[in-house]
Copies of this chain bind each other. A is one copy, B any other.
Amino acid sequence: MSSRTDYEVFDLGDFELSGGATLRGAHVAYKTYGTLNDSRDNAIVYPTWYSGRHWENEWLIGEGMTLDPARYFIIVPNMLGNGLSSSPSNTPPPYNGPRFPDVRVQDNVRAQHKLVTEHFGIERLVAVTGWSMGAGQTYQWAVSYPEMVPRILPFCGSAKTSRHNIVFLEGVKSALTGDCAWKHGWYDEQPWTGLRAASRVYAGWGFSQAFYWDEVYEEMGYTSLEDFLVGFWEGFFLDERDANNLLTMLWTWQHGDVGRTPGFGGDTERALASIQARAIVMPAEKDLYFPPEDNAWEVERMQNAELRVIPGVWGHFAGGGANPVDTAFIDQGLKDLLAD
């Protein structure tokens, strides 16, 4: 749909993060699809995921799909740290590189809320949806701004990052930072070995055991297991990604917890119970770091939530847009959610 340089930037001014640092001249890069109507009541927020950029969300948007720009005004805000919104890689000294401050999911959603309300003058959304860390931001929207969010569809993500998920990310982080070329973040050139090592760690987690058993990567055009590891995974981590940016987003992910929203005192269950939105929560059957049972635990604590598992062998990447069957399943979930 769009080129990589075709997006807008919203100035956050001096943006105080929940950890105490202030990002001066912070900004959110975003892209919109469709037209905001006169009553400003047709907007959907669809945040990005770990390392993702707005153009990597576009597979779920289009004519004939539920997220049809002819009907809805779809706002895709880039996550802080992703290289387009304020990030280690694009922030001037002194908060550049490894000095970029810790960012919480709450901070991301607060920044997006400013964009939605102050820039677009929107008082109420149609829905929020997102994959993976985008799902985490989706939950956070519903907790932070319950009056604005009548519907959510988080897919392949969670309201609180589980301990196992934290451990998985420790592996990714250790592989990336184990490369001496990383230089504690003060590299001149990307730590290529570390980035490629991190990508190989990720490879076992992103897709299920059965995906590899069935050699489904061949359907994606990869000609061998090693071709998939280099062509897809290493390519993924080398695609204009930056080590410090990845580490910033990884910290955000590891610390994700709606219970940390001001007013909830760390009580995740109470935060979940406070969600007023109707929710369809869609884990992938064989997701190795967001297993369906974690979402089941959440749904039990929510007022109006349905658990709808995406079947099949794609694991976490069921929500990545590469498998048409999974995409159709998620699109149907959105259709059902928005029909009410």
| Chain A residues close to B by CB (< 8 Å) | 162-164, 166-168, 170-171, 173-175, 177-181, 193-194, 196-197, 200-205, 208-213, 215, 225, 229, 288-289, 291, 293-294
Q: Is the CB of B213 within 8 A of A171?
A: no
A340 to chain B, nearest CB (A): 32
18 A-B contact pairs sorted by A residue (CB < 8 Å): A162-B212, A163-B213, A163-B225, A164-B212, A166-B225, A167-B200, A170-B204, A170-B229, A171-B202, A175-B197, A175-B201, A177-B197, A178-B178, A178-B194, A178-B196, A180-B193, A209-B294, A210-B293
Q: Which of B164, B173, B179, B196 is close to A209, meaning CB atoms less than 8 Å apart? A: B164
Main secondary structure of the interface of A (DSSP, over half): helix
Q: Is the CB of B174 within 8 A of A204?
A: no
| Separation of A53 and B178 alpha carbons in the complex (Å) | 27
| Separation of A201 and B201 alpha carbons in the complex (Å) | 7
| Separation of A173 and B197 alpha carbons in the complex (Å) | 8
| Separation of A164 and B286 alpha carbons in the complex (Å) | 13
| Separation of A163 and B209 alpha carbons in the complex (Å) | 8
| Separation of A22 and B48 alpha carbons in the complex (Å) | 55
List the B residue with the shortest CB-CB distance to A207: B164
Q: Is the CB of B225 within 8 A of A200?
A: no
Q: Is the CB of B215 within 8 A of A200?
A: no
A166 to chain B, nearest CB (A): 7
Residue numbers in B under 8 Å from A193 (CB-CB): 178, 180
A102 to chain B, nearest CB (A): 17
A175 to chain B, nearest CB (A): 4
Known: A179-B180, A204-B167, A293-B210. A174 touches B162 (CB 8 A): no
List the B residue with the shortest CB-CB distance to A205: B204
| Separation of A225 and B174 alpha carbons in the complex (Å) | 16
Q: Which of B173, B196, B213, B289 is close to A174, meaning CB atoms less than 8 Å apart? A: B196
List the B residue with the shortest CB-CB distance to A297: B213
List the B residue with the shortest CB-CB distance to A208: B164
Most chain B C-beta atoms within 10 Å of own C-beta, residue among A193, A202, A208: A193
Q: Is the CB of A203 within 8 A of B167?
A: yes
List the B residue with the shortest CB-CB distance to A209: B164
